[in-house]
Amino acid sequence: MQDDSAHTARRALETQLPDVHRRVSAIDVRKGVATVVLAPPEDAGGTDEAGVRTAVEAALLGVAGIERVRVIVESERQSAPAARRSEPAPFKPPAPVIIAVGSGKGGVGKSTIAANLAGACVRQGLRTGLVDADVFGPSAPRLFGLTDAPGLRKTDAGIEPLRAHGVKLVSTGFLVGEREPVVWRGPMVTGAIRQFLTEVNWDGGDGPLDVLIIDMPPGTGDAQLAIAQGVPISGAVIVSTPQTVALDDARKAMALFERTEIPVLGMIENMSFFLCPHCGEGSEIFGRGGARAEAGQMGIPFLGEIPLHPSLRVASDEGRLVALEDGPLAGAFERAASAMLETARTANRPAPEIVFED
């Protein structure tokens, strides 16, 4: 209901106050209270902000279910002196193939899957980047062995990503200490995500990326919408463990992508079975096949199974990617990445044109 109310409120502003709608950073509607976050006006001196607030309140109080309106205006960012300002460069997508890896909930190994899918892409000779968009629980520094790495820096070319195992990556984990929590409000979170998506110098002198993997945060709120609307995503991969409780949240993640018109490329089942390191036998601890069955029911591809194995835990803790090593796990990630990339290349192909001969 909250998402529907926020959508209705946004449409009301778009229809009645199009100039103000362009400044909307976020809208949240909870228990009858609408909170609207506005970017600072382009002409701070010539804008009647009190009149803007009054107009927004009047527009939204006419929406069913909204009883009170709160308007927040973000502080103006510092910029270069007027004499040095220039027209912003046109937006350039960071990669031809941009894939969001989501789950709808935490605890299913989504970040480990995203990191190793990136490693599998590197193994195929692709220039690969990764955005760790899980702002409150960044895992990339640990997974890539960069817990002691220096923080991100910004140059004239943009934010400079760090590099490990052939993958270029950015993460809020590089901005705060290992034990320091990220205590940010919604606009700060969405602002950081937008910078990671649009202001990173992915080229770095060795050419543009071929693939960008986005490790999505859990849930279906403002942060997820900022990603879905921030770059032209080629498609999304849903990660789930086999049990029903995980699949329930995976369905919500799929619904988010469908609502934002992002094709779901398929599902990956993590912890599909326990692969014994001694005898090589598999044990279906969590009930194997749930994600495969869900993919079939939803009519989307099933991209593969990733077994539960001690070597995956050890490699992740030590900052290694098993996808770049040898063995059954590396093979599983290679197959999943190949299926993901093939589906992404065909997901947005235009329908064939029917030509009638005279």
Q: What single-letter amino acid sits at 49?
A: E
Residue 107 annotated as part of some ligand binding site: yes
Q: Which of 159, 155, 181 is nearest to 170 (CA)?
A: 159
Q: Taking the CB of residue 106, how many other CB atoms lie within 10 A of it?
A: 15
Is the pLDDT at 181 greater than 90? The verdict is no
- The annotation status of 105 as a binding-site residue, yes or no, is yes
pLDDT digits (tens, 9 = 90+) for 21-80: 888 877 878 778 888 888 878 765 666 778 888 899 999 998 888 888 888 776 554 433
Cα–Cα distance, 40 to 74 (Å, whole number): 6
pTM: 0.69
- The mean pLDDT value for 81-93 works out to 51
The answer to whether 108 is a known ligand-binding residue is yes
Residues contacting residue 75 through CB under 8 Å, at least 6 positions apart: 40
Decide: helix, strand or coil at residue 87: coil
Is there a binding annotation on residue 158?
no
Question: By percentage, how much of the chain surpasses pLDDT 70?
Answer: 82
3-state secondary structure of 101: strand
**3 state DSSP class of 275:** strand
| CB 315 within 8 Å of CB 324 | no
- In the block, residue with structure tokens 């110098």: 201
Rounded mean pLDDT of 257-263? 85
The pLDDT tens digits of the residues spanning 332-355 come to 999 999 999 999 887 754 444 455
104 annotated binding-site participant = yes
- 288-329 per-position pLDDT tens digit: 767 788 888 888 898 988 888 788 889 999 999 999 998 888
pLDDT higher than 60, residue 356: no
Amino acid at the residue 101:
V
Domains of the chain in start order, with CATH, are 2-75 (3.30.70.2210), 97-347 (3.40.50.300)
Alpha-helical (H) ranges within 86-164 are: 110-123, 140-143
- pLDDT of 193 strictly over 50: yes
Res. 118: pLDDT tops 90? yes
